[in-house]
């Protein structure tokens, strides 16, 4: 795995409690919270708003099994605190400056990751569009599949890459992608945003999944693989060489 790619695995810092969408409940039946208006999905880890659940129930149709989704390919990037300096942008004490530069680098890493995840989500939506067997599927269908019910091979690979909290990292990257499809310039980000960008990312994620509801899908019906770009290139090269020798 490209080591720079998941330097963002530590981006849970500053979170005093898990965001609503990451609270894990293991129940046999959906549970509705009167305080939050959220329903716990009966199959595991997710929370969705009741309005979205109603939309899912109305839209859900029989889905054929055996769909092979596009692979999720994650590209390398390099964004270290040393790559940016706030000294000329906003003169401040050295300790404060270093903290802001570190937060900016973390935010940029999430933006790069969000670009890859957004690409995959769009590919999945395009793949099922117009198919009568997939009526009711939307972006949130694949978001929930990725975060809350991914194939076992994806979970194993994320642990092998030492990113056990990938759901939280991915969710924040997806949220930030809504407003920053590419990393913003350092001059275009305010200090309050940098200090608490993880909270903004959590809120943006929740807004994004509300705006694009979709029917629930399971990994038994929709399979996919996750690769680093280098790994995927080697896989393609191996396949091409095998075809050439036949």
Percent of the chain predicted with pLDDT > 90: 41
Using CB atoms within 10 Å of the CB of residue 146, give its burial: 0 to 12 exposed, 13 to 18 middle, 19+ buried: buried
Alpha-carbon distance of 199 to 92, in angstroms, equals: 24
Cβ proximity of 208 and 178 under 8 Å: yes
pLDDT at 68: 92
Q: Is the pLDDT of residue 240 over 70?
A: yes
pLDDT at 80: 55
Average pLDDT, the chain: 74
Instruction: Write out pLDDT tens, residues 185-230.
Output: 888 888 888 889 999 999 999 999 999 888 889 999 999 999 999 8
pTM of the model: 0.71
Q: Is the pLDDT of residue 109 over 80?
A: yes
Q: How far is CA 233 from the centre of its chain?
A: 22
Q: Is the dihedral of CA 143, 180, 229, 76 positive or negative?
A: negative
Cβ proximity of 203 and 172 under 8 Å: no
pLDDT at 67: 87
Instruction: Write out pLDDT tens, residues 62-107.
Output: 344 578 999 999 998 766 544 555 555 556 677 777 888 888 889 9
């Amino acid at each position: 795995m490209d080591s720079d790619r998941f330097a963002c695995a530590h981006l849970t810092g500053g979170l005093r409690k898990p965001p609503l969408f990451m609270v894990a409940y293991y129940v046999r039946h959906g549970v509705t919270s009167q305080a939050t208006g959220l329903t716990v999905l009966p199959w595991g880890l997710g929370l969705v708003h009741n309005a979205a659940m109603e939309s899912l129930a109305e839209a859900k149709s029989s889905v054929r099994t055996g769909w092979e989704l596009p692979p999720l390919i994650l590209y390398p990037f390099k964004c270290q605190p040393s790559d940016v300096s706030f000294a000329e942008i906003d003169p401040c004490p050295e300790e404060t400056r270093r903290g802001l530069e570190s937060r900016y680098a973390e935010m940029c890493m999430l933006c790069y990751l969000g670009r890859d995840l957004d690409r995959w989500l769009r590919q999945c939506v395009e793949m099922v569009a117009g198919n009568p067997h997939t009526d009711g599927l939307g972006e949130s269908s694949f978001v929930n599949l990725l975060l809350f019910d991914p194939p076992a091979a994806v979970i194993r690979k994320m642990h092998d890459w030492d990113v056990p909290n990938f759901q939280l990292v991915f969710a924040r990257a997806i949220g930030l992608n809504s407003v920053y499809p590419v990393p913003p310039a350092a001059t275009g980000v305010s200090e309050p945003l940098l200090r608490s960008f993880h909270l903004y990312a959590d809120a943006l994620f929740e807004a994004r999944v509300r705006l694009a509801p979709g029917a629930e899908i399971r990994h038994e019906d929709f399979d996919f693989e996750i690769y680093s770009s280098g790994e995927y290139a080697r896989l393609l090269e191996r396949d091409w060489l095998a075809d050439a020798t036949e």
